[in-house]
Structures are given as structure tokens and as C-alpha cells.
A and B are shown apart, each in its own frame.
Chain A
Amino acid sequence: MLLTIFSGLYELISGANPDVPNYIDDVYDTVGQITLIMVFVLILIFFLALGRWKPIFHKLGHWLITLILTMGLSFIIAFVTAKDDIGEIDSYMYRFSLMNAIFAAVVFILLSLVFKPMSVFSKRTPF
């Protein structure tokens, strides 16, 4: 089920790559799941762990840093996973990694809206 979702999603946002079947067989699924887990963990850390502990990392600036971190990690996850699976770097890999970063950012923003009411100090972050 997840495999189908991620394949369709990644092919939709970064285009299909029928020349390298590894993407549809393994990479999309693995990258999608790791990315989701990673975003989820960062959201939990930002809004529930830090956001309920102390007002030390809870403002818009902090949220933007976390967003950029999420995008950076997502790019690295996609790139490294694809490179390990395929064995060589191709131009699609960059596009896919970039699109994964954007996908992660969108998920991060959406999850922020869901989790911010549960926070104490980040209730009005990002807005």
C-alpha cells in the first residue's frame, strides 16, 4: 500500500524513471518511509519534547531552522539511499532528492499545524 503511494507520489513530483527500475522496486518505498519517520520524529521533538519542556527552541526562527534541517536530512536520505541501491549517481537522483526535500517540507508544515496545539511554548509557531 505504502509502496503504491510513494511510487505514485514520487513519480508525480519528480517524474518517472523507467530506465532504472530500482527506484520503483525499492528506493521510493524506503526513502518515503524513512523520510516520514524522520519528519515525524523532528515534529515530536520540536512541538512535544522541546515545546512542552522549556521555552528555549520554540519561535518562528527555531521552526525555520528545523524545517531547513528536515529538508536537508530528507535530501541526504533520498540521495544516499538511491546511491546505495543503484550504485552510481545519475541526474535523476538529484531531482528525486530535491523533490523528497520539498515533500518532507510539506509534510513538516502540515504536521506542524496538527501538533502545535499540543505544545505549550510553540502553540503559535509558525503562526
Chain B
Amino acid sequence: MIRNTFIFGIGGTGARVVRALTMLLAAGSKLEDTDKVIPIIIDVDAKNADTTRTLKALEAYKLIRKTAYAAQRTADGSDLSAGFFNTNLNTLSSLQTEGAEKIEDSFQLKFDNLETSFIKYIDPKEELVNDVTMDMLRALYDDTPSDHARYENTELNLRLDEGFKGNPNIGCVVFNGLSSLKEYQFVAKSINPHDRIFIVSSIFGGTGSSGFPQLIKLIKGDDRLRDIKIGALTVMPYYKIEAKKKAGGDGKISSESFDSKTEAALSYYARHMAGQLNALYHIWDTPTKQYEYNAGGDKQLDPAHLVEMIGATAIIDFINKPNEALGVNGVTKYFDYGIIQDSASVDFRHFYNWSGKTVMKPLALFAYAMKIYLDYIPQLQGEVFYKDLLKDHIHSDLFYQTLSAFFNSHFKGWLKEMASNERKFEPLQLEEELNGFITGKPISIKKILGIVRDSGLSESFITEKMGRMEDELRKTIPDTEKEKRFLQLLNQIAAECYKVLGALPTMTE
């Protein structure tokens, strides 16, 4: 049965995993029996650069797919097509939900009334009622004022629109108001019992660790969704944050508390959430990289990490699992992830077959397309395919501007960040020519008596193949759908490069 999957990315880590998922789906990782995938980013830190970057990638994906993806559907409506951008990644508002108030066309679920301090949020009229007193609140929360030297400890005076700064005790109070949001009510009405839900959050921060249990509580409290299949990814510590406070920084977040927060949260999950989920994926890594301290906002732009990409594969795994494999409701299945060999630098060789086939091969194909689009096509302006498809459009059309940004800023940027992080994920040699592009498997140039017989993935190879492919594609895709033709051309030339490569490298090579 065709279903939708709703993916909630909570907090900065949730957004970064959704960013990785966007890249994997752009690369063409196939999701079975799925109509739409609806990512919903939940982050109270309105200016968080990680979240903003993810939202931009999602918007770019959506536009590229809408303009250039040609779906091939069967009679029952399922999409047979494969290739880049084949998954219908869309916004909540794309769903036709009867009886729901219209919402903004956005991938983000926005909280209202957070432009204030925590104390004003819980007590807006400053008239504490019932048994709640200021003394009681002070016993529960730190109330260091904003002009105090130790302001970094404050909880009651924390501004909520800057995020929860690693305080899940504040986050769970705010997330209690989630059900009153117009967007959440739209979500609740849009989800059908046969759809699936996946929640991504970190366990060592503030937003994710508090939002995750609250969200589960809300979903399970809805009679209509009681039996819906739910999966979740809990990201445990995989990086550290600079212990030393930067000049001008507020120093509210410390990685020293990551382990204790993780332990506390895991104990809570074990006691209160066992059986609530169908699948729970755990991921972590030995933290070696020390990120620069940034307490959210537009400066929190942490580099992409292998853990986030592997986290995104958990979503693909969950969506592709048949209902039978998820077991009966009330019993949670737990999943971990391992690579073949522990290494400070990971590439295609380190993954087992499932990842190789489902994720790494599409990733290699998309990387070939990116390389050709960014580095080779600009040199081929005299070719027929360039004159026909790109010449009058590449610098002016929104589609090509978006595609260029997706390849250059989003995808290449993401790969570069992972390649420079620790542990390093460097499956591609981004600055090399195509023959040396795949780490661990260079394509050799074959010569006989000093004369080149086979130059591998040379510029002339690309030129000839793209010329022939465009000549064939123009017979089936009309000039009115040039973007579709171009995306198909990229798919085909990437497949041709992969054919020359043979297969991804393995440990034995």
C-alpha cells in the first residue's frame, strides 16, 4: 500500500540528519511504497544556521524535482521511476487535508510566543497561580539575571527563541504546547493510520531530547494514530564542544554534560517509552572533533558528519521495511549501525552490502553528475546538448540557478564538510579528475605502445556520451520539457561513468 512518511527533525541534530537525508534522496536512494515524504523541522532557535541551511536544501530539492523530475506511474499510482530526486519530498501544505486550517508552505513547524524569556513564557501575566510560587520555580530552575556574570547558568531568564541551550527541562515545558500549534494540528489531521512517522533527535542537547518524548506522547494520545508505525533515531554524542568560553560567548552549552544527559535520557526512554515505538535506531561515535562553541543562532553552523549521514540511512531503512518486519505494536525493535572496519577515514569500502547498494551507489552516481555539471559542462559550450538545453538558460533560469546551488553549495559543501570532519568521510577526491574521483579505485588509462587506447572517463568520453544521449533523449522528451531532459541526461551520463568504474571499491581491492 502506498503511504506517506512524516519525518520530524527536532533541534540542530535533527535538522542536520534531515539535511543528510535530503542529499541521499537527491542522489536517488529509492524509498519503497512511498508517495510523499514530509520532513518537518522543529527548532525553536529561529535563526539556527544548521536549520536554515537544511531548509534551503529542502526548498531547492523541492523546486528541482517539481521542475525536472518525470514520474512514471503504475495504475495504482506508485512511482516506478528511479534516479536523482525520485522521492517526492514535499511540504505539509502539499497534502490535501480536509477540515484543516490552511498553513504556510514551509518545511518548518514554527512555535508562537517564544520571543521572550522562559519565566515570561510560563507566566506571561506575572501572576503565579495555585501552588506555584517564585520560590518553587527558583528551586527548579536557575534564575541568574541577564546582567549577572554567571548569566550562562540562567534558566528562568533564558530567551526561548535562541533555543533551549542544552536544557531539556525547559524544552519539555515548551513542547507541551506543541499540540496547540496550527501546524501540528494540520499534521495530526494529515497523517493516516497506514502512514509512517519517523522522529530524529539528539539525546544530549536540549531541543531534541525534550521534544522527542513529548511528540511520541502526543501521537500516541491521538486515538486515530494509536497503531501507526513509528520509528525514531536517537543520536548520541559524536562531537565535543570547545570547553573554553569564547570572548563574547555565553557559554551555556558544555559537552562535559553530554554523557550524563545521555545516560539520564536513556534511562527515561527505557522506563517510559519502551514499546511506544516500532523501531528505535541508535547511533553514536567516539567524540574526537571539538566544534567551535556557538550557542545557537546564525553562528551555529556545525560541519556535516558521517554520523548524520548514517543516521539518515536509518530513515531509509525504516521506510523500506515492510510492515511485517516492524513487528507488532507494543514491541520496539532496536537497531545499531556498524562499518566493516574502524578507521579515522571512512570511504565506500567501509560499508556493508545494504548500504553499498541502497545509499553508496546512488551517492557515487550523484557525485559523478555533480562533478560533470560543475567542472566539465562549462568547458563543453560548443556541444549540441549545451546549445540545446543550457545556453540560453543556465545563467538566468531559476531551475538552473537552483540546481547549481544544490550541487555547489549544498551537495559539494556537505561532502567537503564530512571530508574535513573527524571521523572523516571521504569517499570522493573532489578536486581530482573523473578518473581519480572515487577514493580507492582510480580508473587507469590503457595504452598500447605508448598510444592511448582507452582514456577512461576523459572529457572526450563525456562529450561523446552526452552528445549521443541527448540525441536519443530529444526523441522522447520534447523541447517544452528541457529541464526534464537535462536531469535525465545527468542520470544517464552518471550511469555511464559508473559502468566504466565497474563497481564501488571494496576492502579486498
Contact = CB atoms under 8 A, between A and B. Distances in A.
Interface residues of B, number: 11
B471 interface: yes
Contact of A120 (B382, B387, B388, B471): B471
Interface residues of A, number: 10
A109 to B, nearest CB: 19
A3 B141 CA distance: 107
Given A55-B383, A60-B382, A123 B463 contact: no
Nearest to A123: B384
A34 B49 CA distance: 73
A59 B382 contact: yes
B468 interface: yes
Query: For the complex, would chain B's binding face be called helix, strand, loop or mixed by DSSP majority?
Result: helix
Interface string A88-127: 0000000000000000000000000000000011111000
B461 to A, nearest CB: 10
Which of B384, B388, B471 has the most chain A CB within a 10 Å cutoff? Answer: B384
A62 B231 CA distance: 61
Nearest to A125: B384
Nearest to A56: B460
A59 to B, nearest CB: 5
Contacts of B460: 54-56
A60 B387 CA distance: 12
A55 B388 contact: no
A55 B381 CA distance: 13
B467 A121 contact: yes
Interface in A7-31: none
A122 B471 CA distance: 11
Interface string B450-485: 000000000010011001100100000000000000
Nearest to A116: B384
B471 A55 contact: no
Contacts of B388: 123-124
A123 B468 CA distance: 11
Contacts of A120: 384, 467-468, 471
A63 to B, nearest CB: 11
Contacts of A60: 382
Interface in A42-72: 54-56, 59-60
Contacts of B463: 55
A120 B53 CA distance: 41
A55 B387 contact: no
Interface in B420-460: 460
Contacts of B468: 120
A4 B467 CA distance: 43
B474 to A, nearest CB: 9
A124 B384 contact: yes
A49 to B, nearest CB: 15
A59 B380 CA distance: 11
A117 to B, nearest CB: 10
B477 to A, nearest CB: 16
Contacts of A56: 460
Contacts of A59: 382
Contacts of A124: 384, 387-388
24 contacts: A54-B460, A54-B464, A55-B383, A55-B460, A55-B463, A55-B464, A55-B467, A56-B460, A59-B382, A60-B382, A120-B384, A120-B467, A120-B468, A120-B471, A121-B383, A121-B384, A121-B464, A121-B467, A122-B384, A123-B384, A123-B388, A123-B471, A124-B387, A124-B388
Interface of A: 54-56, 59-60, 120-124
Interface of B: 382-384, 387-388, 460, 463-464, 467-468, 471
Given A55-B383, A120-B468, A120-B471, 8 more contacts: A54-B460, A54-B464, A55-B460, A120-B384, A120-B467, A121-B467, A123-B384, A124-B388
The 5 closest A-B pairs by CB, nearest first: A124-B387, A123-B384, A59-B382, A120-B471, A55-B463
